[in-house]
Amino acid sequence: MSQFLDFIPKIPVADSVEDAMDLLTDTFAGFFDVIKKSGKFSMEFVTDFLVMIPPVLFILIIAAIAFFATKRKFGLAIFSIVGLLFIYNQGLWEELMNTITLVLFSSVIAVIIGIPLGILMSKSKVAETIIQPLLDFMQTMPGFVYLIPAVAFFGIGVVPGVFASIIFALPPVVRFTNLGIRQVPKELVEAADSYGSTGWQKLYKVELPIARPTIMAGVNQTVLLSLSMVVIASMIGAPGLGRNVLSALQQAKVGNGFVAGISLVILAIIVDRLTQSFNKKRQ
Amino acid sequence: MEKIKIENVSKIFGRHINQALKLVEQNKSKTEILKQTGATIGVYNANFTVNEGEIFVIMGLSGSGKSTLVRLLNRLIEPTSGNIYIDGENISKMNKKQLINVRREKMSMVFQNFGLFPHRTVLANTEFGLEIRGISKEERRLKAEKALNNAGLLPYKDQLPGQLSGGMQQRVGLARALANDPDILLMDEAFSALDPLIRKDMQDELLDLQQKVRKTIIFITHDLNEALRIGDRIALMKDGEIIQIGTGEEILTNPANDYVRTFLEDVDRSKVLTVENAMIRPISLNIDIDGPKVALQRMREEEVSVLLAVNKLREFKGYITADDALEASKKGENSVINYVRTDMPIVPPEMYIQDVLGIISDSKTPLAVVQEEKLVGVLIRGVVIEALSSSDENEGVTENVSIS
Ligand SMILES: Nc1ncnc2c1ncn2[C@@H]1O[C@H](COP(=O)(O)OP(=O)(O)OP(=O)(O)O)[C@@H](O)[C@H]1O
Ligand SMILES: [Mg+2]
């Protein structure tokens, strides 16, 4: 019986995928190169700018934003000051800025791609049936799987790191946008239609504003997912706190790993609470 | 003038539409068709016209297709077949752009749960239709504020809809529709979510409004009392089909079939019956001509102890009792004018019986039914009670019953 199974020759899936990838990278080499160079340039520019800001000023700005975003409560503001001072004290300031840039770029791009995709899904049954399984697939894949195409397209460095993060962080914002728009009460959609709205008017004046809280919940998750990718992205050379965690792991330095890890958690908490409060504020 | 015309309009939801249509022709029931084909009959073969300035009520039980029918008029739901004309233009054949224009200019809709946008202020909600049309900020603000002012809601213009009571929200819904100044108002159970007292106020307001602005109104309800109160004509639906169209009076006195009859049975009769339905022929005396002798003679003849007094023009003047007539006769008077009593309450014929009950129980005498000064009937307690409890429509009530 097992002989019969062995009778079927091995289907060359791996080889075919490799060939396809090669073809892709070869054909679009110029394109990928442009993206890589401009991406690297603009990210370095942002990091340099962030590093240039005096840390005290930076911390105060974040604390002020936290204070006002949480309806003038002191909790998050104080947490931000203490947390950021800790990171500075541990000598991880530049790494923090690199991580912020990475998260900023990957989540902003994920949102820019994700929201229109979610809108498309909510409007078209066909788009939904195509995109839905793709999203399921993307969410079941472990993050580092995306490193493979990232490296193939962009080599190593920060740009492939962002690329992998975008793919990993994309699903929630797409899903929540789709969900948010589909959840707009039928009567309100009918009201918009019955007054003679065009599709765009309906989208801008009714659907997006009403779906906003749901979409923002998706944005929040996307930002956190891209933050969770920083360690993995550092495996292919993205700079930042992730790199410290990774090297601590490789050299079994528990102490260093702990400090870098805590720094990431501090950043995650600040980012999470901030994006959530932006959401609540205007409800 | 004919404003809306519906010709053989059907809407079948789901697939296997042709198969479903065949089954309807074979008189299969809605559930049977759903079981066999998976298709739902929304509306089947509807035909009617609505005149300009008319309030046309569509009534029926839940699931009978009322909402579907009204949404076919502005094509929020696409008809499966048939033609819909508004001002002679075939809506069902229009392209997207033409349809949008009709929706913007000709008709506005009012929704059961108000359909107000929660993120927009009352003013911004009211402006919505104008904003969609691209009308300038100043002009739309002016129009919206005027509409809100008419609804008495201007002070609330900067609030969000969620901060207002249900009745006020629906006034905003109506103001939003009217700010657009459409010819046609589509109202899908617009008052059904409101509690009974507010609901009655809103019905009155709608009727007042209709006096002033004369829109063509399609009003959906599952409540017969509401239909009778505000409808010029009523269409009754069952399982997607229109089974009777007529004025409230026509439907009440002449139900098309058993279904209509059963539907009518749960109506609280006191809210439907008017004074006119329950009044009886008055036994009167022309006080300009007739004296006490004639009065006594008439009382004997009709076996009553009271006569209603009218003048030559049949204008109501009061009443004469047998005792007074006797006294006048003894004194040798030849007129009873000085013996006319005037403490009899007057009610108009179109008043609801429900509203008369209080007056009649407080009054020692029957009530005179007077229209434009003229005596048209008399309302007595026994007959009112009989009318309220009678199981078939006011037959036997209009007979000559003696007053006592
Ligand atoms: N989008 C839809 N898809 C499938 N079936 C539908 C759809 N909309 C309505 N129906 C069906 O069409 C029939 C008529 O529904 P409709 O909403 O018009 O009834 P209605 O008279 O307005 O009832 P109600 O008083 O409950 O509002 C119902 O059987 C309903 O299930
Ligand atoms: Mg309905």
pLDDT (tens digit, 9 = 90+) per residue, B258-309?
A: 777 777 776 655 556 778 877 888 888 898 888 888 899 889 888 888 899 9
Q: What's B59's domain CATH number? A: 3.40.50.300
Give residues (CB < 6 A) around ligand 1. Answer: B 13, 40, 42, 60, 62-68, 222
What local confidence, expressed as pLDDT, does residue A176 receive? 96
Boundary residue ending a domain (B267, B301, B321): B267
Interface residue A195 vs chain B (CB under 8 A):
yes
- Classify the C-alpha dihedral B311-B313-B314-B315 as positive or negative: negative
Residue B155 domain-assigned (yes or no): no
Same domain, B85 and B191: yes
Annotated domain spans of chain A = 13-52+90-282
Is residue B114 assigned to a domain?
A: no
- Indicate whether B359 belongs to any domain: yes
Note whether A191 contacts B115, CB cutoff 8 Å.
Answer: yes
Judge if B56 and B92 occupy the same domain: yes
Residues 6+ apart with CB under 8 A from B119: A209, A210, A212, B160
β-sheet bridge partners, residue B306: B321
Co-location of B303 and B374 in the same domain? yes
> What are A81's two structure tokens?
């000051």
Q: Do residue B81 and residue B25 come from a single domain? A: yes
Q: Are the Cβ atoms of B132 and A205 closer than 8 angstroms?
A: yes
pTM exceeding 0.80: no
For residue B222, the CA-to-ligand 2 centroid distance in Å is: 9
Confidence of residue A23 (pLDDT cuts 50, 70, 90): confident
Same domain (yes/no): B322, B366: yes
Mark yes or no for CB contact B115/A187 under 8 Å: yes
Strands in B233-238's sheet, in edge-to-edge order, are B107-110, B184-188, B216-221, B55-60, B233-238, B241-246
Closest residue on chain B to A209 (Cα): B119
Q: Is B162 inside a domain boundary?
A: no
Paired tokens of B266: 């749960």
- Contact of A223 with A276, CB cutoff 8 Å: no
User: Most B CBs within 10 Å: which of A190, A194, A205, as the mutation test of the B interface?
Assistant: A194
Residues B281 and B261 in one domain: no
Q: Does A191 touch chain B (CB under 8 A)?
A: yes
Angle between helices B166-179 and B122-132 (to 10 degrees): 30
If one counts the domains in chain B, the total is: 2
- Averaged over B18-35, what is the pLDDT? 80
Counting from 1 in the atom list of ligand 1, the atom nearest the Cα of B66 is 21
How confident is the model over B124-165, as pLDDT tens digits?
A: 999 999 999 999 999 999 999 999 998 899 999 999 999 999
Position of tokens 């993060």? A165
Domain that holds residue B321: 275-394
Are residues B324 and B387 both part of a single domain? yes
CB-based contact B104 A195, cutoff 8 Å: yes
Same-domain status, B245 and B339: no
Q: Is the dihedral of CA A242, A245, A248, A250 positive or negative?
A: negative
Over its C-alpha atoms, chain A yields an Rg (Å, rounded) of: 22
pLDDT for res B71: 96
Chain A residue nearest residue B73, CA to CA? A194
Domain boundary among B267, B297, B324: B267
Residues B216 and B187 grouped into a single domain: yes
Residue identifier of the C-alpha nearest atom 17 of ligand 1: B67
Of B213, B242, B267, the last residue of a domain is B267
Q: B349 pLDDT exceeds 60?
A: yes
Separation of alpha carbons A62 and A272, rounded Å:
13
> Class of A13-52+90-282 per CATH?
mainly alpha
Who has greater pLDDT, B402 or B149? B149
Any domain includes B123: no
Q: How far is CA B126 from CA A247, B28, B183, in A?
A: 61, 45, 17
ipTM of the shown complex: 0.81
Give backbone dihedrals phi and psi of B25, rounded to 5 degrees, phi first.
-60, -30
Closest approach atom of ligand 1 to CA B69: 18
Within 8 A of A281 by CB-CB distance, chain B residues are none
What number of other Cβ atoms are within 10 A of residue A281's Cβ?
11
Q: Indicate if B86 and B190 belong to the same structural domain.
A: yes
